[in-house]
Structure 1
Amino acid sequence: MWLSAVLICVFPVISATPFNRQWEEDMSVRHSWLELPRGWRRLSSPSPNHTFDLHVGLKQHRLDVLISDLLQISDPTHPRYGQHLTKEETEDLVKPHPDTLDAVEDWIISHGINSSRFHYPTGGQDHIDLRVSVAEAERMLNAKYEFYRHKSSGDTILRTMSYSLPRALQPHIDVVSPTTYFGTTRSMRSTSFLQPEVQPLDALEPIVQPISDTVRSSSCDLINTPACLRDLYNTTNYEPQAMDRNRLGIAGYLDQFSNDADLQTFESKFRPEAIGFTVPTVQINGGRNNQTEPGIEANLDVQYGVGISYPTPNVYYSTGGSPPYIADSQTPMNTNEPYLDWLTYILAQPTIPQVITTSYGDDEQTVPVDYATRICNLFVQLGARGTTVFFSSGDFGVGGGDCFKNDGSNRVEFQPGFPASCPFVTAVGGTTHVNPEIGVNFSGGGFSRYFTRPAYQSGPVSQYLVALGDTYAGQFNPNGRAYPDIAAQGTGYQVVVGGHIVSVGGTSASSPTVAAIFSLLNDVRLSQNKSTLGFINPLLYSTAVPGLNDIVSGSNPGCQTDGFTAKEGWDPVTGLGTPNFSRLRSLISG
């Protein structure tokens, strides 16, 4: 049933289409702008000899088979549960149809571009990267490239207002970039923020001594430290054993760098037994690692990944670049992160971390649907290879800004977030306080407009919608993929930045916390010579429910409304609830 529910992510089987030079006489516009997107102005024309990298994403031929395999190996009741695919097996399933590869290659060659310039970054050969001149790209795409400058950020990009493809190639190509998708690399949105109203521990003094148990126990309702979180989610007494086989990955963007010195200070203050433990940085596509500019977001992610999962190895990915973008009122500049660059890199690796967390997100409507679909399908490959992918659900409740749709209608609707809305990732919402925990008011949650609701969610989400009734009718898609899936504390995190503690909040904090807990659960399974958990959503919505703390109060206002309300069972504020490690450990050890 679920396979039919996500056909928006799957493209039709490609039939044979022999190369025909008459294609060039039958060009069809793939996308065009009637007017320049808001915030941009034309700057100048590039030299015809100016070169740039063109990405041509090809249709993945057996994606439906890969999705079917993923669902089987992720279903705890299926005989294939836990039998993850190898890199080679996943690549074989996403290889384009031979006719697709031949047609696209012949089309490119017909423009005088030698095949020696083709680069296939992954073994699946599902996309071609090639360095082209402006003149070559304009001939291929019937386009006119210009330099454009963003008025607020000052960033300059190379784009075209319109581009076309031969009509016979339209079924063979998913994405061509850069073309008409305007964007800037600055001001991308991370899902964290400083909380000056939460008095940090030792805010103004250099950190010298570890915090006492007395301070921990008296302050955990207002602030969060590794000790608070380990106690709340029952990981304190677990000692990892499979450090040689287990890794936690943290994906970072926006020129965010984890500071090594700050990590050591954090360890001395909050996890003294981890002093000397380090996290390597992998730099991708121009990602930097400037130790003189510690990033709050990166320090948060790394410090709490280590603070909870220690001594499990962690790795930080610093990724540069920028993907396609469509502006809306909440995201006036390109806040999309370069998922494509990072995914291309990680999928090409022979081994990848068993858990990966990302604390960034965008309004779904600012991400072109073809780009979002392509990215969502790439997450299928990670899950099939046994990796659990967590994304923070966002910090704007049901939507920030004026919540106007950017299709010209000026309708006000709830704004779901991406990639949290992708059904192949696990979205993490936020909570606050203890005894009891409640849904925090900024926790992103809602229903996708791009992706339909997967079968693994049908029961719990349907129950919520029945209880909701006609409330907010027309402001969200009741048939969409619902998120978040799970939640964790999202306020008062004590983070060391530049040698001092600051208080940080956001689902950016929730996601690495949950990721570290599930990394420990993978340690449990690996130490028992079992497979990793991989794509966990089917597990969460079935046999893992007793291992979660149901959150029954709180709401996520936005778009000039009170937003959704947390209740018993699944809800669009906290998902299924927060993790209880000891109970989950028993459930996944059986």
Structure 2
Amino acid sequence: MSTILFTAALLSLCAATPLQSRYVVKETHRVPHEFSREGNAPSQALIRLSVGLKQGRFHELEKQLYEISDPDHSHYGQYLSLDEVNELVKPKDESLELVQEWLHQHVDPKNINYSPARDFLTFILPVAKVERLLETKYSVYRHVDGSTIIRTPEWKLPLHLHDHVTAIQPTTSFIRAVPQSKTYLNVPGTVGHPLPYGPSNGTVDQVCNTRAVTPLCLRTLYGTVDYKPKVPGQNQVALTDYLGELNNRSDTEIYLQRYRPEAVSAAYKFRQISIANGTLQQTPNSPAQLRAGTGIEGNLDAETILGISWPTPLLAWSTAGDPPFAPDIDNPTVDNEPYLTWVNYVLKQDFVPQVISNSYEDNEQTVPYSYANVVCSQFAQLSARGVSILFGSGDGGVGGVQPGGSCLSNVNNQTQFIPLFPSSCPYVTSVGATVNFKPEVAAYDPRNKFSSGGGFSNYFPQPKYQAEAVSEYLDTIGEEFSPLYNKSGRAYPDLAAYGVNYTIIWNGTLRLVDGTSASTPAMAAIFALLNDALISNGKPPLGFLNPWLYKKGKKAFVDVTSGSALGCNTTGFPATKGWDAVTGFGTPVSPAN
């Protein structure tokens, strides 16, 4: 009898084990048209893998986020603490235990790092071991620009983990985080090249010139020129650098000396923090960096913010994780995508600046839904702590991140308006761009085809806070482009600011820059000044802007009704009365309007 029982138990165990450990495809993602496979990934290349676990009570966090961001709610401005956010998003014990049990078969437990809420587990493994962990095959893919990346179009998990793991990266994400300021123009001559700037107490007509836009012009245009910050330090502003971008202090010093001399000391005082070995380089650019224009984006962000919001302290984060990656001896680790690396670092900090400017976007279709959803949920955590997160809406109109970008869908190879991520995330504020002064119109520059971006997400549904405004807009524009976009998706941008011919100093010389990478740091600096006024009066900062903006804040913006988001061989979304998908609710109220 004992032999029969033992045999039965053994058979039962053998039957259960394959079902418990059976791998099933968790995610697939089509390789974008711009990439072609070159061959197998080097087996010893190291991958910094992040495993996202299902968050226990995210729905409750989202509910509280909308309450504390609604100006008519009794909880408005009652932002959550770091501990309160972590308590809401920590995974259930079952999820953590099951994922740990699986990982410990492949990874030494002491080499696994945990996020404060334990909703992300991060570790480093060679490609060969990651391939076994996920039953997949990594390859080297080459982008049309010549850069390479190590990714896989499909990965698997044991079936019993599918409901507990939300995302694992880097796997299927071909995100490139494109800076929205590559449309820059050289200016003949030296830094001393004469350009009209006008008196410091002048009118917009006296201090602004469309050929070269300065901090004095922007401060005058948007009515902040006479405001003196009262609580700098208590109130702060931040920017992000990805892809090896730089904030050069010597260039910033030259810029401030010329355009905001009282702020010149800030060039060497603003804080810089490296995340995952992000560069803090202050030496002269190499020939390769000069050819690539490295630092144009970073200098634009730092110089614009300091030029407008000084003496509000500035923090610059530099995050490694450049997706186009070729491992070498000096940098052997295939880093995670920069947004996830950055936001997970910031979420650990006790204090975070109240406004953060981000000048990077990517075509939403290059980002797997799981990755976009996880990153977006991390942004929600940051927003719930009273942080305003701003992203530029793109420089390619309705055609993607770049002027003249592709309008080809990865799904059906048909022409489609291409939405951008992270602007498509409902928990961030997207900033479009304008040009001209009286009146401002949706930005377009025929010299470089820069067109302010706008669109509708294919991933994220339209949030309630914008439903009425978007519905009115769709009624206005009719059915002309209806097959080309998702009417029910999160619509962007939410607002706009001037974005053409910004003056910057780069490599010691004057340059002019277009882009929503210009309008975004300008708008971040303006909100930083607004927060200063609020905090100095004992009120909370603005926090997540969108519910306030769509309900009441829109009254503080001037409607932009001309121009459109050109792209995909169409006129794109037009600017209209009220909210529109190229300038949002318009630009800040100013003496010019």
TM over 0.5: yes
SS in 2 for 1:254: coil
1: CA distance, partners of 2:156 / 2:71: 46
Question: Structure 1 residues 324, 39: CA separation in 2 closer, same or farther (over 3 Å shift)?
Answer: closer
Structure 1: state its 5+ residue gaps: 1-19, 326-333, 584-590
2: CA distance, partners of 1:219 / 1:540: 27
Letter matched to residue 422 of structure 1: C
The reply on whether 1:493 has 2:489 as its aligned counterpart is no
Counterpart position of 1:174: 166
2: CA distance, partners of 1:410 / 1:60: 35
Question: Structure 1 residues 153, 547: CA separation in 2 closer, same or farther (over 3 Å shift)?
Answer: closer
1:172-195 Cα shifts (integer Å, max 9, x gaps) = 101112334456x7xx52111344
The reply on whether 1:420 has 2:405 as its aligned counterpart is no
The reply on whether 1:573 has 2:585 as its aligned counterpart is no
Question: Structure 1 residues 416, 28: CA separation in 2 closer, same or farther (over 3 Å shift)?
Answer: same
2: CA distance, partners of 1:73 / 1:545: 18
Identify which of 218, 242, 248 aligns with 2:231: 242
2: CA distance, partners of 1:402 / 1:255: 25
Question: Structure 1 residues 459, 264: CA separation in 2 closer, same or farther (over 3 Å shift)?
Answer: same
Counterpart position of 2:129: 136
2: CA distance, partners of 1:438 / 1:35: 37
2: CA distance, partners of 1:316 / 1:339: 15
Contact 2:197 2:214 in 1 (8 A): no
Contact 2:34 2:144 in 1 (8 A): no
The reply on whether 1:446 has 2:437 as its aligned counterpart is no
SS in 1 for 2:525: helix
Contact 1:270 1:307 in 2 (8 A): yes
Contact 1:304 1:513 in 2 (8 A): yes
The reply on whether 1:93 has 2:88 as its aligned counterpart is yes
Question: Structure 1 residues 277, 436: CA separation in 2 closer, same or farther (over 3 Å shift)?
Answer: same
The reply on whether 1:298 has 2:294 as its aligned counterpart is no
1:555-590 Cα shifts (integer Å, max 9, x gaps) = 11111111111111101111001113799xxxxxxx
TM-score normalised by structure 1 residue count: 0.87
Contact 2:27 2:155 in 1 (8 A): yes
Question: Structure 1 residues 560, 149: CA separation in 2 closer, same or farther (over 3 Å shift)?
Answer: closer
Identify which of 8, 16, 31 aligns with 2:27: 31
The reply on whether 1:287 has 2:282 as its aligned counterpart is no
1: CA distance, partners of 2:337 / 2:529: 28
Contact 2:426 2:460 in 1 (8 A): yes
2: CA distance, partners of 1:182 / 1:239: 44
Contact 2:469 2:579 in 1 (8 A): yes
2: CA distance, partners of 1:354 / 1:285: 23
2: CA distance, partners of 1:130 / 1:158: 17
TM-score normalised by structure 2 residue count: 0.86
Return the offset for 1:227. 0.6
Contact 1:207 1:269 in 2 (8 A): no
Question: What is the percentage of aligned positions where both structures have the same residue?
Answer: 40
2: CA distance, partners of 1:26 / 1:103: 14
Counterpart position of 2:328: none
Question: Structure 1 residues 267, 570: CA separation in 2 closer, same or farther (over 3 Å shift)?
Answer: same
Structure 2: state its 5+ residue gaps: 1-15, 286-293, 326-333, 445-450
Counterpart position of 1:544: 553
Letter matched to residue 503 of structure 1: L
Question: Structure 1 residues 45, 530: CA separation in 2 closer, same or farther (over 3 Å shift)?
Answer: closer
The reply on whether 1:150 has 2:142 as its aligned counterpart is yes
Contact 1:28 1:164 in 2 (8 A): yes
The reply on whether 1:113 has 2:107 as its aligned counterpart is yes
Counterpart position of 1:41: 37
The reply on whether 1:502 has 2:511 as its aligned counterpart is yes
Question: Structure 1 residues 402, 142: CA separation in 2 closer, same or farther (over 3 Å shift)?
Answer: closer
Contact 1:190 1:360 in 2 (8 A): yes
SS in 2 for 1:553: coil
Return the offset for 1:160. 4.0
Identify which of 233, 246, 261 aligns with 2:250: 261
Return the offset for 1:268. 1.0
Contact 1:253 1:337 in 2 (8 A): no
1:399-423 Cα shifts (integer Å, max 9, x gaps) = 143411012x221111111111111
2: CA distance, partners of 1:287 / 1:90: 27
Return the offset for 1:151. 6.1
Over the aligned positions, Cα root-mean-square deviation in angstroms equals: 2.6
Counterpart position of 1:587: none
Counterpart position of 1:60: 55
Instruction: Compare 453-462 and 133-142 and name the one that shifted more.
Output: 133-142
Count how many residue pairs are aligned between Structure 1 and Structure 2.
543
The reply on whether 1:430 has 2:433 as its aligned counterpart is yes
Contact 1:181 1:324 in 2 (8 A): no
Contact 1:37 1:182 in 2 (8 A): no
1:448-491 Cα shifts (integer Å, max 9, x gaps) = 11111111111111111111121212111111111100000010
Counterpart position of 1:125: 118
SS in 1 for 2:266: coil
1:29-53 Cα shifts (integer Å, max 9, x gaps) = 1235798976333445644x65432
SS in 1 for 2:280: coil
Counterpart position of 2:9: none
1:10-59 Cα shifts (integer Å, max 9, x gaps) = xxxxxxxxxx7445542211235798976333445644x65432211111
1:158-212 Cα shifts (integer Å, max 9, x gaps) = 44454211111111101112334456x7xx521113443xx85xx4123499975
2: CA distance, partners of 1:417 / 1:366: 9
Question: Structure 1 residues 411, 95: CA separation in 2 closer, same or farther (over 3 Å shift)?
Answer: same
Letter matched to residue 534 of structure 2: R
2: CA distance, partners of 1:244 / 1:391: 23
The reply on whether 1:405 has 2:397 as its aligned counterpart is no
1:332-352 Cα shifts (integer Å, max 9, x gaps) = xx9x96101101111111111
Return the offset for 1:156. 4.8
Question: Structure 1 residues 446, 104: CA separation in 2 closer, same or farther (over 3 Å shift)?
Answer: same
